[in-house]
Structure formats: C-alpha cells, structure tokens
Amino acid sequence: MSHSHDHSHSHSHDHSHPHDDSHYDRHHDHVHPHHPGHVARRTPPHGSPVLDRRTAIRTGAVGLGAILLAACSSNTTGTAAATTAVASSGTAPEPASTTADGLAGFDAFADTVAAFTSGEVWMVECNSLPTHPMMVGITNWQQQVPIPQDYTGDNAWRFPITPELADEPISARTGLFRGAIALAVNGVPIFNALNNRGDDAFLAGELDEFGGHCGRADDYHYHTAPLHLQEAVGEGNPIAYALDGFAIYGSTEPDGRPVEDLDEYNGHVGAEGTYHYHGTSSYPYINGGLVGVVQATDQVEPQPTTPAIRNAGEPLPGATITSFEDLGDNSYRLEFEMDGAIGSTDYTVTDTTVDFVFTTPDGQVTTETYSR
C-alpha cells in the first residue's frame, strides 16, 4: 500500500500551528496546564550524562504515563493574544560571549550547525538531528521518527544578539506550550519541559535517554536540558540559548563554580553581571520561561516552521523503542519491542520524499511514501 500527502493536504485537517508540539491534540480542544506544584520532581544521580527514568519511578513518579490520553491540549487559532514584552530601562546586560568562529557553544558543532549574525539577531541553520542516538528508551511513543528539518534561510532559528530583560517575564509554567523556547548548540530545538497537556514530558516516558523525541512533523527536539553537551562545548561555554537570547549553561557557572540561587526561570545574574539560565536535572530542567524581550503568543515568534509530511501517529501502548541506527545515505532504522517481539520503522529521506517500511511485531510489512 502506498500513498502520499502534500503539505496542504496534511494541514487541512487540523488548525494547529505547523510547528507546535501537539502529539495528542487531535482529540482535545483546550490547554489546561497543571500548576507547577503538581509536577513531580526527582533527583537523578548527580552528574549523570543522560537521563535515567528508573530513578523517577523509584522515587514515586510512576503512573503519569498511564494518564496521557486523558489530558488535554491544543488551543485554537486566534485565541492567544499577542503580547510584546517591553524592555525595562536601566538594564543592559552584555551579549553572550562570542568567538572569532561564531557564537560560544555553537562553534563546537560548526560542521553541522551554522551560526551567523544578521542585523540584530543570531541566525542558526541546522537540520535538527544530533549525532547521538535518538528515540531509544521512549515508552510512550506516537510512532513519529526523526526526519531532517530544513532550518535554513528564512526558516533558520533566530534570537537577539543583545538580549534585554523584559518588564514581564513569560513563565513556561503557564504558557509557551507551543514551539521551541530554546535551541541547543548542536542544533536541536528545546521545547517547554511540560508537554502541551501540562505534564512533565520526561516523567511521562515520552523522552529518550537524551531528553528528546519527535513531534507530529517528525521533528526531533528536546524537552529537557542537553546536559550531555557540556563535555563537547567545554567548560565555560553555553549548552544552549533561550530564544530571548540569554545563554543557558550546564551544571556549573561559566567560571567553574557551583550554581546557586536560581530563580523560578532557572536563571540568575552571573558573576560577570549578565543574566543567564542553567540546565538542571529536575524540573524546570531548562529555562522555565523567557525573562528577555521576545515577541510571543503561546509561542515565540518568529521561529521556523516544521511542515508535517503525514498525519499524526497514533500511540502504540506497550511499545518501548530499543534501538535507532543511522544507516548512512539518509536511511534510518528504528526498532521497538512489544510483547517480546521486535517491530521496526525503516525510512529513507530524499530531497522530495520519505520512503517508509513499517514492520509490525507480528511481521506485517507496509510501505508508504510521503512527499516533503
């Protein structure tokens, strides 16, 4: 069986923004974020480079995965009022440090991620795919897979070269549920740590061992801080930048000292007098909002679009993703285990198509081709 969808078709059935993160939104019609007090917390092993959900389960954060489909999400177009934060006077932090090669942190990934200035913004071009394995460990899977995204040209990421503190920060506890709020220096977008139902995406089993997964456009992104990038960027360099332009550092201060006194947005003014955020291994994990001046509705604008190439996937209860391989030549293989048997999704990406071969755990094979 084979069929294809063009972009206009794949968008005609819903009213969500093409770059939202609505893994479940076809069945829901409102946003109902939980109060942050409802967000389970956990304390993973200090310094652990990757996430360990078993720790969360041992500490009592079990059961969230079972309620996923009962939650809600997805606003309708036109309900979010545009707000523009205004810079406060008297605060003029320095921009994040730059190097001759570009922007600190990003230069460690210069082979795959291009950062350059254009007017008053940094532009970052990338395809969103990291070099580390993706998807492994996800127990709450919507059958999406990582497909390279065209974040180039007008569809590049952008954030201010000179961030300014806003009079009214925007909290990620009550907003910013659509689109990215930050960009990791390896070119992977970072979304709100709460999914669009207000649940902690990590504790819900939606994320792989690096804190990432794919949205409905098969777009790979993180929902937690990429603390694993600390080693690649080296001491003193950011692991990500929030879309307000403020840098996000890892588990230590830029000068190597321990992190202290983070505000509710996971940030503070550093020793050098500049505001910055930190990644943490418990909620809010990443910037808990945007303290800098941004243009935002329920998502920061402008930001790249991620056109969906196919209809949103259905949940596959009982499946655990067990491996992901980049086979070269733009071919990939994802395997999952279900009831003791292995199923797989093999796919090859070309400039214009994605060819899929789906194999169910009981051996049924289906091929599908979608245009992109």
Selected from 169, 270, 284, 343, the binder of Zn ion by CB under 5 A is 270
Minimal distance, residue 196 CB to Zn ion, in Å: 8
> Two tokens at 222?
């993180």
Interacting residues of 52 by C-beta distance below 8 A, sequence separation 6+: 44, 45, 209
Minimum CB distance to Zn ion smaller for 248 or for 294: 248
Minimal distance, residue 252 CB to Zn ion, in Å: 8
H or E element: which one contains 269? strand 267-269
Minimum CB distance to Zn ion smaller for 105 or for 215: 215
Minimum CB distance to Zn ion smaller for 160 or for 215: 215
47: left (phi over 0), alpha (psi -120 to 50) or beta: left
How many amino acids of this chain bind Zn ion (CB under 5 A)?
4
Minimal distance, residue 141 CB to Zn ion, in Å: 12
Minimal distance, residue 163 CB to Zn ion, in Å: 15
* Candidates 154-162, 266-274, 311-319, 324-332; binding stretch for Zn ion (CB under 5 A): 266-274
Which residue type is seen at 196? N
Minimum CB distance to Zn ion smaller for 42 or for 213: 213
Minimum CB distance to Zn ion smaller for 64 or for 123: 64
Residue nearest to Zn ion (CB): 21
Minimal distance, residue 77 CB to Zn ion, in Å: 20
Minimum CB distance to Zn ion smaller for 36 or for 270: 270
> Two tokens at 29?
């019609």
Closest to 157 (Cα-Cα) out of 92, 79, 103, 215: 103
Which residues are bridge partners to 280 per DSSP? none
In whole angstroms, what is the distance from residue 246 CA to residue 169 CA? 13
Minimum CB distance to Zn ion smaller for 123 or for 319: 319
Burial class (CB in 10 A: 0-12, 13-18, 19+), 261: exposed
Minimal distance, residue 320 CB to Zn ion, in Å: 18
93 interacts with Zn ion by CB under 5 A: no
Site string for Zn ion, 209-248 (x = CB under 5 A): ------x---------------------------------
> Two tokens at 368?
């599908």
Residue 193: CA atoms inside 13 Å, Cβ hemisphere, count?
26
Interacting residues of 134 by C-beta distance below 8 A, sequence separation 6+: 146, 208, 210, 212, 214, 220, 324
Selected from 21, 125, 199, 219, the binder of Zn ion by CB under 5 A is 21
Minimal distance, residue 339 CB to Zn ion, in Å: 26
Peptide bond into 302 cis (omega under 30): yes
Would you give the distance in Å from CA 40 to the centre of its chain?
Answer: 20
Binding site for Zn ion (CB under 5 A): 21, 215, 253, 270
